[in-house]
Amino acid sequence: MTSLFDPLTLGALALRNRVAMSPMCTYACEERDGRANDWHLQHLASRASGGVGLVLCEATAVEPRGRISPQDLGLWEDGQVDALRRVVSSVRTQGAAFGVQLAHAGRKASTHRPWEARSGVAAAEHGGWPDEVVGPTDERFSEGSAIPRALEERELAAVVQAFASAAARADAAGVDTVEIHAAHGYLLHTFLSPLTNSRDDGYGGDERGRSRLLLEVVKAVRASLPATKPIIVRLSASDWVQGGWDADATVRLAGELGERGVDLIDCSSGGAAQGARTKAYPNYQVGFAERVRREAGVASGAVGQIADPRQAEAIVAEGRADVVLLGRALLRDPYWALHAALTLGAAPPWPKHYGWAVG
Ligand SMILES: Cc1cc2nc3c(=O)[nH]c(=O)nc-3n(C[C@H](O)[C@H](O)[C@H](O)COP(=O)(O)O)c2cc1C
């Protein structure tokens, strides 16, 4: 039986345990500079000193028009590398690995910070950023979101290149792994889902066509990183809508991703269709991770309402996922992993400087 506090190897990366911080936007950059700052350093390093094995930092835009808000992190230019390197270094000092989530918000880009307003950002409000919002089609996500411009087929190579260049910058910043964000109704997910991709060119149509952009991104990112550096892909394993992307499609895609050098599939769900939200409950997405691991033979991560140490332990011990990712539980308690280790009777991953705290 594997335990939550057993190490895990992904590629050449050794994680000290199977607890990961799920990527969470904090909208904390100086407006439009996309650079990590003291906020990101304390926020992420404190979860590392709190004992998690892997810190996945928030959605980080691969190009300016891929930002959700003007305060998003970015890796679209070389000038953003040094600031991130400082955060990576601080997290690693605390014994955790650092992963950056590379993202393009697609038709969900260009909004205010959630606590400011829900609606899209009018260009004039923020000095005309970004220059436009793009998607697989010109259909918008919801009333109040920007109307996207449908990306032309000839433009997609530049999108792929943006992911590859951002991955190379992440590597230069010293990250241990890169997660490609292909979930939650953002650009790559909207290409995957039949609900949002009605294109009739080589990037639409059947499942193969709709998967093409993500597969090209993965290939380009793989080529931008050292071969031993693991890649994670976050998928929305189900759109929770009849006729949408579903768990069977996820298992098929996971197999293809595994063959192309993806080391772990992070199994989330939803986000493509407004109003399609399923009722979330503890472990509601764990079944997706279990199927990916068992049927596609690729390591998987489970996420979503995992907050109780025994619940997390059971997911790993029962072989339902290789990693558990925690979001809001880690916002509530940066030291969740230390407390969980005490509850489960495992050796707590304390920094050695705090060894006096127990026993
Ligand atoms: C404040 C906040 C920001 C989030 N930002 C991201 C993000 O940047 N990328 C992402 O893939 N998911 C994001 N999520 C989703 C979380 O990673 C996670 O999948 C979700 O919160 C469910 O896990 P939980 O029940 O443990 O919170 C965010 C969630 C929250 C609460």
Q: What is the pLDDT of residues 76-100, one digit of tens each?
A: 999 999 999 999 999 999 999 999 9
Residue pair 267/288 in contact by the 8 Å Cβ criterion = yes
Confidence of residue 359 (pLDDT cuts 50, 70, 90): low
The Cα 327–Cα 344 span in angstroms is 20
Block residue for tokens 């509530």: 332
Write out the two tokens for 264.
């772990």
The verdict on the CB of residue 311 being under 6 Å from ligand 1 is: no
The verdict on the CB of residue 183 being under 6 Å from ligand 1 is: yes
What is the domain range of residue 86?
8-349
Taking only the tens place, the pLDDT of each residue in 37-67 is: 999 999 999 999 999 999 999 999 999 999 9
359 in any annotated domain: no
13 in any annotated domain: yes
The verdict on the CB of residue 101 being under 6 Å from ligand 1 is: yes
2 in any annotated domain: no
Write out the two tokens for 268.
């989330």
Question: 24 C-alpha to center of ligand 1: Å?
Answer: 5
Residues across the chain: 359
Question: 358 C-alpha to center of ligand 1: Å?
Answer: 31
The Cα 62–Cα 109 span in angstroms is 12
138 in any annotated domain: yes
Which ligand 1 atom is nearest residue 305's CA? 25
**Per-residue model confidence (pLDDT) at position 29:** 97
The Cα 8–Cα 184 span in angstroms is 27
The residues facing 149 across adjacent strands are 134
**Active-site annotation holds for 186:** yes
List the CATH number of the domain containing 105: 3.20.20.70
In a 10 Å sphere around its CB, with 0-12 CB exposed, 13-18 middle and 19+ buried, how is residue 33 labelled? middle
Q: Please state, in angstroms and as integers, the Cα–Cα distance from residue 204 to each residue in 3, 200, 213, following that order.
A: 42, 5, 9
The verdict on the CB of residue 58 being under 6 Å from ligand 1 is: yes
Block residue for tokens 């899209």: 120
The verdict on the CB of residue 303 being under 6 Å from ligand 1 is: yes
Which ligand 1 atom is nearest residue 303's CA? 23
Which ligand 1 atom is nearest residue 280's CA? 25
Q: What is the pTM of this model?
A: 0.97
Residue pair 295/251 in contact by the 8 Å Cβ criterion = yes
Q: State yes or no: pLDDT of 216 exceeds 80.
A: yes
* pLDDT > 70 in the chain, percent: 96
Which ligand 1 atom is nearest residue 181's CA? 11
Find the catalytic residue in 186, 281, 284, 354: 186
39 in any annotated domain: yes
Question: 25 C-alpha to center of ligand 1: Å?
Answer: 7
Sign of CA dihedral 26, 61, 269, 9: negative
Number of domains in the chain: 1
The torsion defined by the Cα of 7, 254, 138 and 127, in degrees rounded to 10, comes to 20
Measured at the CA of 329, the angle between CA 347 and CA 37, to 5 degrees, comes to 95
Taking only the tens place, the pLDDT of each residue in 116-158 is: 876 667 666 666 667 789 999 999 998 878 899 999 999 999 9
Among the residue ranges 40-49, 64-73, 216-225, 272-281, the one predicted with the least confidence is 272-281
The verdict on the CB of residue 328 being under 6 Å from ligand 1 is: yes
The torsion defined by the Cα of 148, 154, 155 and 159, in degrees rounded to 10, comes to 120
Confidence of residue 7 (pLDDT cuts 50, 70, 90): very high
The verdict on the CB of residue 24 being under 6 Å from ligand 1 is: yes
* DSSP assignments along 320-343, one per residue: S-SEEEESHHHHH-TTHHHHHHHH
